[in-house]
Copies of this chain bind each other. A is one copy, B any other.
Amino acid sequence: MPQCTCPHTKADSLPTDPSQMVSVEINGKRNGHTNGTTNGANGHSTPRDQQRRNPYAPRASDFLSNISNFSIIESTLREGEQFANAFFDTKTKIAIAKALDAFGVEYIELTSPAASEQSRADCEAICKLGLKAKILTHIRCHMDDARIAVETGVDGVDVVIGTSSFLREFSHGKDMTYITKTAIEVINFVKSKGIEVRFSSEDSFRSDLVDLLSIYQTVDKIGVNRVGIADTVGCANPRQVYDLVRTLRGVVGCDIEIHLHNDTGMAIANAYTALEAGATHIDTSVLGIGERVGITPLGGLVACLYAANPEYVKAKYNLPMLREIENLVAEAVEVNIPFMNPITGYCAFTHKAGIHAKAILNNPSTYEILKPEDFGLTRYVSIGHRLTGWNAVKSRVEQLGLKLTDDEIKDATAKIKELADVRTQSMDDVDSLLRVYHSGIQSGELEVGQKEALDRLLKAHRESQLGDNESASAPVPVVAAA
């Protein structure tokens, strides 16, 4: 077995005798703490509150930061519809909308009702659900679209404009920004219906900065609720995002939304950094599905914001629902949850069979950052999963001190996988099964390949467990829930 990832010099292997230590002068500078408060055995004072501070929390100096003050605009039913495999029928859209609402996202965005009669009907149907979340949609800058949209009952409308075509045609280098009468008409019309108006553009990181800021300054003055920028090609990097959002933050008074594609895998980090810079709304989709590799995934975003401020995020969202929502959408679009998905991926909390998580973290002031229990998950599922390999089971067999041949282990593994197809097995489940299998082999009641004999032994074991302990921890196969 390969060694633990980053072996340390253990504290007890350091010499206790200073004569074993060598001093190295570093330009006459002092090292370590210099406040001379204590001279305890370790020569340092380490205030308890310093040990408990979350190193991933937003920095006090980031007075613009909205890491603990943001909203999610969930766009599975708009951006997600652009995903190669997405063909949501009305029933599925409603199921997804309800699940997202139960999770707690502040906004749910839908495909434009002007796109097709079906889109319009679905938009209306979802608006009628009476969800807590606000329902949004988007339209071209056109009164026909606006009229259709407001009639569906949405709570907000996004008017999307073209940055490059906006000013260049008409500004003539004067002191004024020209804006189409239509745009004003659309904005005012939507506002007159008492619903939110957003203005957004595309490909912001490749747009002329001056054009972009002019447009947003203009619409801010006219009175929109929010402006939106987008990394359409999915290649922006975090500091670039920070700079643009921060700059925009100083130009408009309204909210700032950001839509980030994930072609280079940086969408979560870009979203985080955008919030640090003062953005207020982040577009997401479940598993990030959308055009090409999609956008900021809901789960990944929630994970990093939870790391920064777990209490805020736990209060805002129903975290244990995350897995259920991802399974719902994954099934609808026929993809597998990526094995390395934050939080809900196959191996998010797994380690090689038997290695306790804490053994990895040697820092004595450790506290867990990502607590699987907060997401309704447990650790150590790697060998109770249908993807389990017999080698992983063999490691566990060895750790339990049981003696089984490779054939016996493969046989037991097949049973584990079969049970795991119904419900992922916990480490306890697997340990029980291995012990029962081992006893069966030892006593002669069981041989390799004897499925019925094994089932009998497992059943007898469960019944004796239920007799001993009325708790629900016995490995009874149930139809897989979330």
Contact = CB atoms under 8 A, between A and B. Distances in A.
A421 interface: no
Interface in A3-38: 3, 5-11, 14-15, 18, 20-26, 28-34, 36
A400 to B, nearest CB: 18
B304 A266 contact: yes
Contacts of A141: 9
Given A32-B171, A168-B43, A26 B273 contact: no
A342 B21 contact: no
Interface string A340-377: 11100111111111000000111111100110000000
A240 interface: yes
Contacts of A178: 18, 21-24
A336 B339 contact: yes
A460 interface: no
A71 interface: no
Contact of A239 (B33, B211, B239, B288): B239
B173 A237 contact: no
A21 B55 contact: no
A205 interface: yes
Given A239-B273, A303-B265, A342-B264, A351 B32 contact: no
A295 B308 CA distance: 19
Contact of A176 (B23, B162, B167, B288): B23
A321 interface: no
A389 interface: yes
A132 interface: no
Contact of A269 (B41, B173, B269, B347): B269
Given A84-B347, A175-B28, A269-B265, A207 B5 contact: no
A326 B360 CA distance: 27
A156 B303 CA distance: 36
B173 A32 contact: yes
B349 A339 contact: no
A116 B20 CA distance: 29
A140 interface: yes
Interface stretch (A75-83, A100-108, A437-445, A465-473): A75-83
Interface residues of A, number: 155
Given A9-B140, A160-B6, A173 B30 contact: yes
A82 B5 contact: yes
A402 interface: no
A292 interface: yes
A218 B24 contact: yes
Interface in A239-292: 239-240, 242, 262-266, 268-270, 272-273, 276, 287-292
Contacts of A269: 237-238, 265-266, 268-270
A43 B48 CA distance: 63
Nearest to A237: B272
Interface string A222-240: 1000000010111111111
A312 interface: no
Interface in A58-101: 79, 81-85, 87
A476 interface: no
A335 interface: yes
A314 B7 CA distance: 36
B165 A8 contact: yes
A348 B263 contact: yes
Contacts of A168: 32, 42-44, 46
A31 B177 contact: yes
A307 interface: yes
A351 B292 contact: yes
Given A162-B11, A178-B21, A300 B238 contact: no
28 contacts: A1-B115, A2-B115, A2-B119, A5-B291, A7-B160, A9-B165, A10-B165, A11-B165, A14-B170, A15-B180, A15-B181, A22-B184, A26-B218, A56-B205, A82-B352, A83-B347, A84-B347, A84-B350, A202-B363, A203-B366, A237-B276, A264-B268, A265-B303, A266-B269, A292-B348, A293-B345, A294-B347, A336-B336
3 closest A-B pairs by beta carbon, nearest first, are A269-B269, A338-B338, A8-B162
Given A6-B202, A30-B174, A55-B206, 8 more contacts: A9-B166, A24-B179, A26-B177, A26-B217, A239-B242, A293-B340, A293-B347, A336-B339
